[in-house]
């Protein structure tokens, strides 16, 4: 019974467009997306460390 509830909740989350774009990606692709996002955020700073320090 409990697993059916979890499956229903997971299906609801996966159907949400906010979560759907990343749900089908492999771990390697998710890692690549994270690195690209962090690199993009750090682009305006002289280094990644400088960005983190200012946070």
Q: What residues contact residue 14 under an 8 Å CB cut-off, 6+ apart?
A: 20, 23
Contacts 24+ apart (CB under 8 A), 10-19: none
In a domain, 8, yes or no: no
In a domain, 3, yes or no: no
How far apart (Å, rounded) are the C-alpha atoms in residues 2 and 7?
9
2 pLDDT exceeds 70? yes
- In the structure encoding, which two tokens stand for residue 3, read together? 């697993």
Domain range for residue 35? 24-55
Structural domains in the chain (count): 1
In a domain, 11, yes or no: no
27 pLDDT exceeds 70? yes
In a domain, 12, yes or no: no
pLDDT at 1: 65
Supply the mean pLDDT for the chain: 81
Give the number of C-alpha atoms closer than 13 A to the C-alpha of residue 13, restricted to the C-beta side.
10
In a domain, 31, yes or no: yes
């Amino acid at each position: 019974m409990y697993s059916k509830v979890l499956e229903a909740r997971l299906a609801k989350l996966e159907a949400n467009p906010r979560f759907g774009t990343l749900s089908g990606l492999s771990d390697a692709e998710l890692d690549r997306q994270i690195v690209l996002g962090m690199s993009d955020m750090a682009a305006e700073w002289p280094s990644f460390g400088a960005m983190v320090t200012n946070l």
